[in-house]
Chains A and B, each alone.
Chain A
Amino acid sequence: MKNDQAKKYGMVIDLDKCTGCGACMVACMAENNIPFKEDESNKLDSITWMRVYQLTNGKPYPETDICYIPRPCMHCEGDHGHSPCVSVCPATATDYSQKTGIVSQIYTRCFGCRYCMAACPYHARYFNWWDPVWPNGMEKFLNPSVSPRMRGVVEKCSFCFHRHQLAMNKAFVEGRRELEENEYQTSCAQACPSGAIAFGDLNNPKHTVNQLAQPDNAHGGQPKNPEVFRLLEKLGTNPKVYYVSSREWVRRAGDNYLKNENPGKAH
């Protein structure tokens, strides 16, 4: 049994199904020991690996429409693993795994220069301006699979990598080298009550994400499904988070398009 087939874990989020309820955000916080402060209304310093943004079509009442868009780390592949943040990290605290396609973040290596935050076009990275404080007793619900971070380091969504490790451990014990699709799911995908988040191996045609997004690996992973788009597609970051929407104005909101430009044909 050999494991030479490289994985490319990614996500497809159905914005028609997403209701903006925010369950993914809390599922993430609970799984990943994300701290909280008394006032979290300054969203610049509010740590949310998964954040749900609200989009509007900008039209006046009653033609106005809104849509919610969950934004985890995009785990950009860039060009052969040169994702924006990995390229600028002087401490090799963040790296692109060719085996899983996951962009890692190693807190104990990070010394807080925040170059990666400047480089990330998705605002997916957060800096710990303070040491985390859990009210007395609340440290009891901390998850031992994820280390709590400390002041002075950057953190971000890991696609719940610890779940990958746990699943792989289990598989190895059982003499397997491959995971089933449902064995490794992120906390947000598992929790989403609408079933809007699909997670899996984009390279595996049996996985839902592959079937939904139909990524074209010859062209930087661009989706072949015309209702699927990626955020800031034109930057060439080659993100692994895809979005589905039947509404054109939503797809157009994913990047800065010219008036007559078709979002489906960005390049």
Chain B
Amino acid sequence: MKMDRRSFLSFVIGGAAGTALSPLPWKVTDDLAIWSQNWSWTPVPEDGEVGYVNTTCSLCPGGCGITVRKVGDRAVKIEGMKGHPVNDGGICILGLAGLQFLYGPSRIASPMRRTGERGENKWQKISWEEAISEVSKKLADLRSKNQSHALACISGYDGGTVPRLFERFLTVYGSANFVRTPAVRDSYELGLYLMQGTQANAGFDVENADYILSFGCGIIEGWGSPVRMFKANSHWKETGVKVTQVEPRLSNTAAKSDQWIPIKPGTEVVLALGLARVIVDESLYRREFIASHTAGFDRFVQNVLKDYPPEQVEKVTGIDKAVVVSLAKTFAAAKKPLAICGRGRGAGSESAGEIMAVYALNALVGNINQKGGVWAIPDPNYIRWPELEMDAQAAAGMQKPRVDGAGSKKYPHIRNLLHRLPEMINSTDASPVQALFVLEANPYYSVSDSAFVRKAWKKIPFIVSFSSFMDETAANADLILPNHVYLERHEDIPGAEGFIKPIIGLAKPVVNPQFDTLHAGDTIIRLAKMMGDPIAKAFPWEDYEACLEETFGDKWEALGEKGYWIDAGFEPSPWNKAFETASKKFEFASDDIGASFQNAVVKAEGEESAYPLLLIPYDSPRISAGRIGNPPFVIKTVADTVIKGKNGFIEVNPKTAIALGLSEGKSAVISTPRGSAKVRIHLFEGIMPGVVAMPTGLGHTAYDSFLAGKGVNINELIGPVEDGSSGLNAAWGIRAKLGKA
């Protein structure tokens, strides 16, 4: 057949039409799609038997119960534990992402010795035997030079058997330098001690209060035990309990409150005392409490009447005096009003003056140890180990003052002052700390004034990290003895921040250890045994598990079964028995309290002329800012007005921005007396003009590529500001300037 143009075209077109009408192209497309969907690198999760394990979350001090869903031997999901007294089935964003810590890429797989310079990230894998004997040799050497007090331990927590084992090790070794990282509970403990004479934690009966006055607490941003507070917030909505939030920035808490009162940052204490004055002046206080159960009331009244009239409060705080008066009346008129403080999630301490002003407000309305009020919660005193036998070296070392100055004549009532450590190290030629243990903490990242911290760090000759993760501290240590993560280990977790019943949670191993890690409790016991007597003698247990079992004795089985122990019937002491001060009363003023109120306002560092703005940190529930870095799931939820690419944003009021010639998204440089950083501008109407805010928890240099290098670590910009009366770090911000990049 001859192929002419006509038949060629008919053949091609006909063929094309025929193919198109046939199922072939569709079949091929479909097959292609299916083929491309079956590439081997898309994982197929292995199936298996489903099981649930109850345990306790220890990612924050919230003390929540969690239930981990397992498929075979894999943990696949973390959920809130139903019926748990703290969180009853609820769970927070960080707790949900816990498995990303367990299986995450920043985990340390075995003990490691540094081979390059510090921070160079060059490591050599070593055996546990070798790692522990290296520590043992260093410490024996230090001890032989009568330098046992030059050993320090920075710990992220101090309740429970693991930190207590570390503290015990330090004691019998001869060092008093067990330093816990700061938290608002330091301030609360101090307040309770000074005004009530009790050694206790503060509990807040938020569920039964009928009016909440919050001085900047991030009630729904991680303050207290986060899930409990979320639930309380919803409970208040359902029952019509009003919340007033006093804060310079429209936080989530402020936005959810019934009344947001913007205040000049750092002046909250003046407002608190101003409110106290109105309550006193108008005789709105509860006489039955004030008359019979308090001391120093007259002195307190004199002080506030003189110094805190509403006009003065308006001048300092920027809050209209009519608002001050009506707020005081609302507070005093409520049946069970509750005032709380502790900025953001309460990750830092507050000044003694501020904490006591807020306690005083609560006392004026008589809600100390009452339903809906502030309770003193005693420590569940369950760790009773055999008495220590100390040799001369240990006794001499323990006599030496603590390196952070806590408990000294100057700071008699404070137990931990971590912020002072860099200064103590930098102010002498030879560092007073020659060997440092870091347990469940990340001080290299989280202590403020990072440049100064780095300088001090360099002067510490020997640093051992017990971290499970390659955090900044581990990355800059000499030796890493990685701990199991919380889902791989047994541990007692006493207390839940701000909770009103004594409770002990038990963490249980949900899965077998994924790597060649060792329980920090076992590490310290093995180290003690290797160091020989008298240190070894103080650790009679075969291993940590034996120690834990013995500690709980006959409670152990019940604890294991239920997952927690609670003193459900606990009631706070009645007024006539509650106070252990000299007067056996609640003390508004005493010689110990002394000048606290006069020194109440803590000034931000820096001169206004050079630094016209105020920089404040803010906490976001979507950014973990504690000892643990944000996992990938959680960093994914952060808005693109907080992080974009690697850039971090600073919140600026449009008015402030216009004056500086800055607009949304523009690059800028923020400078403070402590440092400067490149940021981008996010215009936010919810922040007071003249104030700028940056999130905490960003600007990591370690961890994984999901987190590192994103945003700015605000600790680079802010330094500690010491509260003159207590020594606590009461910095709430710093003066700053913002300019075009």
Contacts and interface: CB of A to CB of B under 8 A. Distances in A.
Contacts of A27: 91, 96
Contacts of B645: 39, 41
A4 interface: no
Contacts of B41: 131, 133
A107 B41 CA distance: 16
A25 interface: yes
Interface stretch (A16-24, A76-84, A220-228, A235-243): A16-24
A253 B502 CA distance: 45
B79 to A, nearest CB: 7
B355 interface: no
Interface stretch (A95-103, A190-198, A205-213): A190-198
A46 B689 contact: no
Interface of B: 29-30, 33-34, 36-37, 39, 41-48, 71, 74-80, 87, 89-93, 96-97, 99-100, 102-105, 220-221, 226-227, 230-231, 233-234, 237, 250, 252, 255-256, 260, 262, 514, 621-622, 632-640, 643-645, 653-655, 685-689, 704-706
A164 B308 CA distance: 61
A144 B78 contact: no
Contact of A19 (B39, B233, B644): B233
Interface stretch (A59-67, A119-127, A258-266): A59-67
Output the residue of B71, B90, B234, B636 with the most chain A CB within 10 A: B636
A147 B39 CA distance: 14
A153 B99 CA distance: 26
A19 B34 contact: no
Contacts of A64: 250, 685-686
Given A21-B92, A66-B255, A112-B33, 18 more contacts: A14-B237, A25-B93, A30-B78, A30-B96, A36-B706, A54-B639, A60-B654, A61-B262, A64-B685, A65-B250, A66-B250, A67-B255, A140-B75, A141-B102, A150-B36, A150-B39, A153-B37, A190-B80
A146 B76 CA distance: 12
A43 interface: yes
Interface residues of A, number: 70
Interface in A134-161: 134-144, 147-153
A138 B100 contact: yes
A137 B103 contact: yes
B42 A132 contact: yes
Contacts of A21: 92-93, 220-221, 230, 252, 621-622
B44 A193 contact: no
A251 to B, nearest CB: 16
A19 to B, nearest CB: 4
Interface of A: 14, 16-17, 19-23, 25-27, 29-31, 33, 36, 38-43, 46, 48, 52, 54, 56, 59-62, 64-68, 107-108, 110-112, 131-144, 147-153, 187, 190-196
A54 B637 CA distance: 12
A194 B231 contact: yes
Given A21-B621, A41-B644, A144 B45 contact: yes
A143 B637 contact: no
B42 A143 contact: no
Contacts of B89: 190
A28 B693 CA distance: 30
Contacts of A140: 74-75, 103
B203 to A, nearest CB: 20
Nearest to B87: A193
B77 A31 contact: yes
Given A23-B93, A195-B234, A139 B43 contact: yes
Contacts of B36: 150-152
B248 to A, nearest CB: 10
Contacts of B514: 137
Given A108-B37, A111-B33, A150-B37, A192 B640 contact: no
Contacts of A107: 37
Output the residue of B231, B633, B634, B688 with the most chain A CB within 10 A: B633
Closest 4 CB pairs of A and B: A142-B45, A193-B230, A64-B685, A193-B90
B621 A141 contact: no
Contacts of B231: 193-195
Contact of A17 (B46, B234, B260, B705): B234
Given A108-B37, A191-B96, A144 B71 contact: yes
B44 A147 contact: yes
A194 B237 CA distance: 10
A188 to B, nearest CB: 10
A141 B99 contact: yes
A84 to B, nearest CB: 23
B255 A136 contact: no
A141 B74 CA distance: 6
Nearest to A60: B685
B49 to A, nearest CB: 11
Contact of A135 (B76, B105, B654): B105
Given A40-B635, A147-B44, A61 B685 contact: yes
A30 B37 CA distance: 22
B97 A59 contact: no
A48 B252 contact: no
Nearest to A107: B37
A144 B255 CA distance: 39
Contacts of A108: 33-34, 37
Contact of A56 (B74, B638, B685): B685
Contacts of B71: 143-144
A196 B76 contact: no
A67 B71 CA distance: 38
Nearest to B105: A135
Contacts of B226: 193
Nearest to A93: B33
A152 B33 contact: yes
A17 B252 CA distance: 11
A22 B686 contact: no
Contacts of A147: 44
Contacts of A139: 43, 45
A131 B632 contact: no
